[in-house]
Structure 1
């Protein structure tokens, strides 16, 4: 909004943390805080540092820069290991399917997702408060990854790597902080690799099959809806209320969708919103354009051994590993 000094100022009460203003500022006066330097001091401290990498990473570091090679590169600079956030998206998917089944009982009921997009959540909180109670109670895959990693390895640091500036604010949210210690963007990590002369395509493969196709395609618009549909059909095959999903991407389209909900003119009951056009593949800190990012994510998803989260044996093994936790404690790992 304009100020009395003929220069724009940021109204933090309305800001969605989407990061779109950063490249558009003609003076380059807006920037997000880079967290690599404070994070890097832990890489040789003896404290294990785990990288949780967003599924939108597919293709972001070169066509030959696979997840296995990215894992090798991160280990080479001091990370203990790399985990795919898509694995935790699989866990979140099962939780959302269960939540939908319990909450959407009539034709008038609906559930708002996507928990994975902080811009969408901020839009609801700051501009559509009356709809906020309809938002899923499930945390984002990023927060789920940090909480689960720290449950298994309490003395560690967690670093989320993704395309999103808003994730930096999400990690520091009073209700969510502590799960993820640092957030790096794809563009920041690319600069680190250049500075260290790391060519991802020349790194050795260190493959670990962790996630399903459904978890991997969270990175583009419609991915969450598609992922939730199959588990819902499996856990509640006799549902009388049909699963009817609709998606919006980009802030303008998201607002239009939420306005339709408020007016009562929307017939869908599973509402998916992504703050960036195209979804996470269109984030402000990507290294490739949105169309190429979507193509790479689709290919990444098609190579998964598991089609859907409910069939992912890694999710079952992870849940078994956590079975000694009290149910209430485990539920809190995945809930806001």
Structure 2
């Protein structure tokens, strides 16, 4: 392998970190972009033929599409004018695939989409087929040369964070706990986000609690015989996309709920008109979900844990030195959405409270990783008895804690998530008074109305009438 490109993920974060420093100070100019190119060229011995590749990684780190132009021109103006980063999220960058050598089968990216869209071999490397792509991010993280990459959405966000008249919320995924250090509390993260200009940090697990109640009511209503079954998890766009694109008949059994991410954006914007909502997650697929035309407008920007770590470093925000502002916003059930089986556990606690004498008992089956998700969908399609009526799918192994942009090992992350869930003063979504308060503010008098014909219910429901290709 060519050492100039080996471990390009780290080099990519170095580029991003340098851009953050300049952009945050309002000092980023075209000559700075050229200076960054020259810095990378000198440090890693890139040749002149590699410069377009480096420049396109700078563009992606700014949230822009790669270009064929060799010179920087209006990129900085484009960033300033962006209200949101446009798709596609995952893109191919020309210029380095030939360094992998002739034997494509020995490359890191070979087979990374084996159970999804396939990364097809062509004369100039992989081809991303966007109407098949699940945006899981496996191809991105498996390519050590940086030939496939996702856009970073922080650069256009900076002006909103610095504008005192714009309210910006950070909605943080349940898997965030422990991602920035063993002894870093959620309260310290809340302080850090406020230092960055966010109005507040909100646990997305709170909105998972709301959707748990909704899915429990739907399960109770729809699963009434031994042949009925219910597909979830609404929180995983990889699972949703896999089912919707490849198993349309089974998709009819999928929960109509939006994800907790989308619910957080819609509800926060309903309660705080004209606000911006930024989702912080381990997931590349969440960037794509936020851009689905059926869901767009709920979430303005998505940042990953890996990107947030670089932002904290670039701006010298030392988490361990910050005071903590601790709040108990979500239940144990909502917080363990972060790992495989968390959704099933949470929904079951509410089903048992709603209908303790149900004749058809709640029987869950949990699968994770695209391979196993595809297998169980094939089994159901072929009429195989899987012994369950509630099927939870998570695209990443281990659940969200195994996402492509996490900072720590998934087993360690799972343990931390479980401990954080147990620390909650609220055991189940049904006991969360924050949920009751939000639903009242949305105009619901009775919790059962969450699946009724009203505006609040529509906020929490996905439009399944059309599939984006």
TM-score under structure 2 length normalisation: 0.70
Instruction: Choose the corresponding residue for 2:442, options 315, 322, 334.
Output: 322
Measure the CA separation in 2 of the matches of 1:174 and 1:92.
21
Instruction: Choose the corresponding residue for 2:403, options 257, 269, 283.
Output: 283
- Secondary structure of 1:88's counterpart equals helix
- 1:199-218 Cα shifts (integer Å, max 9, x gaps): 21211111111000000000
Measure the CA separation in 2 of the matches of 1:318 and 1:10.
41
Equivalent residue runs for 1:114-263 within 5 Å: 114-263=233-382
Measure the CA separation in 1 of the matches of 2:125 and 2:192.
43
Q: How far apart are residue 27 of structure 1 and its match?
A: 2.4
Q: How far apart are residue 28 of structure 1 and its match?
A: 1.1
Contact 2:239 2:395 in 1 (8 A): yes
- Secondary structure of 2:408's counterpart equals coil
Q: Which has the larger radius of gyration?
A: 2
Distance 1:286 1:26, change over 3 A: closer
- 1:134-161 Cα shifts (integer Å, max 9, x gaps): 1100110000000000000011100000
- Secondary structure of 2:372's counterpart equals helix
Runs of 4+ in 1 over 6 A off after TM superposition: none
Measure the CA separation in 2 of the matches of 1:180 and 1:331.
18
> What count of residue pairs does the alignment treat as equivalent?
336
- 1:103-157 Cα shifts (integer Å, max 9, x gaps): 1010110010000000001101122222111110011000000000000001110
Deviates more, 1:211-220 or 1:60-69: 60-69
Instruction: Choose the corresponding residue for 1:53, options 160, 165, 172.
Output: 172
Give the superposed CA RMSD.
1.3
Measure the CA separation in 2 of the matches of 1:25 and 1:313.
45
Measure the CA separation in 1 of the matches of 2:231 and 2:217.
14
Measure the CA separation in 2 of the matches of 1:216 and 1:4.
43
Q: How far apart are residue 238 of structure 1 and its match?
A: 2.0
What is residue 457 of structure 2 aligned with on the other side? Answer: 331
Say whether 1:67 aligns with 2:193.
Answer: no
Contact 2:444 2:456 in 1 (8 A): no
What is residue 432 of structure 2 aligned with on the other side? Answer: 312
Measure the CA separation in 2 of the matches of 1:34 and 1:120.
23
Instruction: Choose the corresponding residue for 1:12, options 119, 130, 134.
Output: 130
- 1:178-232 Cα shifts (integer Å, max 9, x gaps): 1101000000000000001112121111111100000000000000000001111
Q: How far apart are residue 264 of structure 1 and its match?
A: 1.6
Measure the CA separation in 2 of the matches of 1:193 and 1:259.
44
Structure 2 segments unaligned to the other structure (5+ residues): 1-118, 446-451, 463-469
Say whether 1:42 aligns with 2:123.
Answer: no
- 1:18-52 Cα shifts (integer Å, max 9, x gaps): 00111212421111110011011101212100000
Deviates more, 1:93-102 or 1:323-332: 323-332
Structure 1 segments unaligned to the other structure (5+ residues): none
- Secondary structure of 2:252's counterpart equals helix
Deviates more, 1:277-286 or 1:260-269: 260-269
Greater relative contact order structure (CA < 8 Å, 6+ sep): 1
Measure the CA separation in 2 of the matches of 1:2 and 1:258.
24
